[in-house]
Amino acid sequence: MVNLVCPQDKLPLTSDLKCPKGHVYRQIDGIYDFLLGEPKNSDVLEKVAPFYEGIYAPLGFLITGRTRYSTILREAGFYSSGEEFLDIGTGPGKIFDYVSCQQCYGLDISLRFLRILKRNRKNVTPIRGDAMSLPFSDESFSGASAMFVIHMLSDPVQALSEMSRVLKRKGRCSLGLLTKNGWVANLLAKWWKLELRSESFYIGLIERSGLKVTGEKQMGPWSLLKCEKT
């Protein structure tokens, strides 16, 4: 198992998830819980969680990006696979169907999604945590992904910095992003109340986080960026 740390202080935790500075974490139904309070989560996503990977996401990507949801995840998963692998914003963990990993971790803020992950993908360790403050020690993972979550966050710079921190040197990562590309992107951004940014904006953030973009693919309003830690 990779080393778990206090997400606030980045100090090692005891076996019962206690931090030297007094922060105490817990397990809920076998899910490691590193959120001290209840986060604001999307009501829409919570409601569609039971059929997210079977209907909601596949239909949404087919309509908006004219591509299969499974195709995007397969490409991202094959590229960023590694012995130790982390998926940030994992939802029900569909990407693990295409990832080769020995130590597999899925992180999300939603207990509902993580319970689905735990039930359907028993080889994956479910972690409830914040993408902007990951509960893992430096250079823990040889592969990582964050599919369709970074653009939803209030501080994408911090989230990318954290992903870079926990990646090993030469570790690979895949990012799925909503980017400024046509009226569909504008419509989705308005629906989700997001600040819509260009692909070049995210590439700049990625490179400033110590990652190198090795490949990019545009699918309507969606961008798939492949990266490597330099």
Q: What is the pLDDT of residue 75?
A: 98
Domain ranges of the chain: 29-229
Global pTM? 0.96
Mean pLDDT over the full length of the chain = 95
Give phi and psi for 143, each to the nearest 5. -155, 150
For the packed helices 57-65 and 69-80, what is the interaxial angle rounded to 10 degrees? 100
Q: What is the pLDDT of residues 13-42, one digit of tens each?
A: 999 999 999 999 999 999 999 997 776 666
* Domain spanning 29-229: CATH superfamily: Vaccinia Virus protein VP39 (3.40.50.150)
Nearest to 176 by CA among 63, 71, 51, 38: 71
Amino acid making up residue 73: L
Q: Tens digits of per-residue pLDDT, 177-229?
A: 999 999 999 999 999 999 999 999 999 999 999 999 999 999 999 999 999 99
Work out whether strand 167-178 and strand 84-88 pair parallel, antiparallel, or are unpaired.
unpaired
